[in-house]
Amino acid sequence: MVWLVIILIVALDQLTKYYISLNMFPETSLPVINGIFHITYVLNPGAAFGLFKYKTGFFLAIAVVLIALVAYLYPRLPKQRIYLRWGMTLMTSGAVGNVIDRLRTGYVVDFFDFRIWPVFNVADIAIVCGVALMTWDIWQSDRVKE
């Protein structure tokens, strides 16, 4: 089941990025809800908020360590830590999606643009949701211990 989720999220991420790349020019924007939500094609050579531009080797190293750590820890997690397990799955899926971009082109394709936040993609959504689930699980397990 985990592998199926990872494959589906990575496929959705790559297909949406491919579609945007095929149908738009970089830095162009199409309003979906004018002034609120746009599809904006951005080639991001950095991380969130454009930090650490052109540090592709650094991002690849971080992703490899993260994926290796998850591969090691995941089978050792108790089955009842469902939020932690799903969080790791989502985070890994997003990391793989963005690593594919970095390996292929040196940058990540972003396109969801809410105008009040940096432009992001499906992989970024998976990473954020995964981290949120893992945080929730850790917070809940700490509360149970108290």
pLDDT digits (tens, 9 = 90+) for 31-63: 999 999 999 999 998 877 667 787 888 888 988
List 13, 101, 113, 124, catalytic entry: 124
pLDDT digits (tens, 9 = 90+) for 110-145: 999 999 999 999 999 999 999 999 999 988 876 656
- Rg over alpha carbons for the chain, rounded to the nearest Å, is 16
pLDDT digits (tens, 9 = 90+) for 59-102: 889 888 988 999 899 999 999 999 999 999 999 999 999 999 99
Q: How far apart are CA 20 and CA 27, in angstroms?
A: 11
State if pTM tops 0.85: yes
List 101, 110, 113, 137, catalytic entry: 110
Q: What does the block give as tokens for 6? A: 């990872």
Q: Is 142 a catalytic residue?
A: no
Number of domains in the chain: 1
DSSP 120: B
Q: 74: domain range?
A: 2-145
CA-based nearest residue to 65, from 47, 92, 38, 90: 92
Q: How far apart are CA 41 and CA 56, in angstroms?
A: 20
